[in-house]
Amino acid sequence: MNLENVEYGIANHIARIEMKRPEVLNALSKGMFRDLKKAFGLATQDDDARVVEITGAGKAFSAGLDIREVGGFKSRTEAKQFVYGLVKPFWDQLFKCEKPVIALVDGPAYGAGAEIALASDIVVASTESTFAFSGGRIGALCCMSGVIGSSLMNGRKLVEMNLAGTPLTADEASHYGLVSHSVPREELASTLEKIIRDIMHVSPVSNSSFKRIRRTDLPKTRLETAYRELLRTITSEDFREGSSAFVAKRAPEYYR
């Protein structure tokens, strides 16, 4: 399968998905969402894959939405196609995966990038990493954090992270439940290897059953609301202002 934005491979029963747009800090473009869905589909279907690792190439996990690409929808129809034709199918595929998903984070994980880490089962991060639900700073929305965050993180901090967009260090993210292991960069590989060795001693049927139980935390009505509100934000004047400010490297003016 041809994947332009993601590198996918299996070795030693580990399906490795690497977001590969390092020149833009692995920003999530339309093509990235499409390729991530395909990669998670491959990992889900491949019997040789027992664990799924997701990481980012270069100096970041992912900086979030590619604002230069998706910051100027020409119509509501185009924005709706983005949400329901690309974003939703990716999240559906990720949530459908019944194998352990480990996010290996080394660098910024912002916006939807932070949400991918949040949605993973285990998050291993270098102490150099930072996390932020920063969608609101560009007039968009980290909608999935509102769906799954309360069952994984300290609720008060989750709310503050969204309403203020303030980043957390990896150690802070570990304290609040977003990160499983915060370790020095040189210990990332060994920490990941130990976790995978431990997973290999656990029944895959048990793991898939546990993930099926966890999936019941995803009420259909809340997911529908999340996608509807994401569409609302990215078709708003605030998103146009936030996107323009981002490209121009200036502070957005939402309260005028």
Report pLDDT for 155. Answer: 85
CATH architecture classification, 6-199 = Alpha-Beta Complex (3.90)
Average pLDDT for residues 59-77, to the nearest whole number?
Answer: 93
Least confident of 49-53, 60-64, 87-91, 218-222: 218-222
Confidence of residue 120 (pLDDT cuts 50, 70, 90): very high
- Going by their DSSP bridges, the two strands 122-126 and 181-183 should be labelled as parallel
Confidence of residue 80 (pLDDT cuts 50, 70, 90): very high
Question: Considering the chain, what is the average pLDDT of its residues?
Answer: 96
Domain map (residue ranges) of the chain: 6-199
Report pLDDT for 112. Answer: 98
Residue 147 tokens, joined:
């769906």
Is the per-residue pLDDT at 108 higher than 90? yes
Is the per-residue pLDDT at 3 higher than 80? yes
The burial class, CB within 10 Å (0-12 / 13-18 / 19+), for 106 is buried
Report pLDDT for 256. Answer: 81
Which neighbouring-strand residues pair with 17? 8, 54
pLDDT above 90 covers what percent of the chain?
Answer: 94
Residue with tokens 């998103």: 239
Is the per-residue pLDDT at 1 higher than 80? no
Report pLDDT for 56. Answer: 98
Q: Label residues 112-128 b or e (16+ Cβ within 10 Å = b).
A: bbbbbbbbbbbbbbbeb
What does the pLDDT look like over 4-30, one tens digit per residue? 999 999 999 999 999 999 999 999 999
Average pLDDT for residues 62-84, to the nearest whole number?
Answer: 93
Report pLDDT for 111. Answer: 98
Confidence of residue 2 (pLDDT cuts 50, 70, 90): confident
Report pLDDT for 46. Answer: 95
Strand residue runs (E) in the chain: 6-11, 14-19, 51-56, 101-105, 108-110, 122-126, 130-132, 168-169, 181-183
Average pLDDT for residues 67-91, to the nearest whole number?
Answer: 94
Report pLDDT for 166. Answer: 93
Rounded-to-integer distance, Cα 16 and Cα 187, Å: 18
Rounded-to-integer distance, Cα 247 and Cα 62, Å: 17
Which neighbouring-strand residues pair with 197? none
Report pLDDT for 72. Answer: 81
Is the per-residue pLDDT at 115 higher than 90? yes
Is the per-residue pLDDT at 88 higher than 90? yes
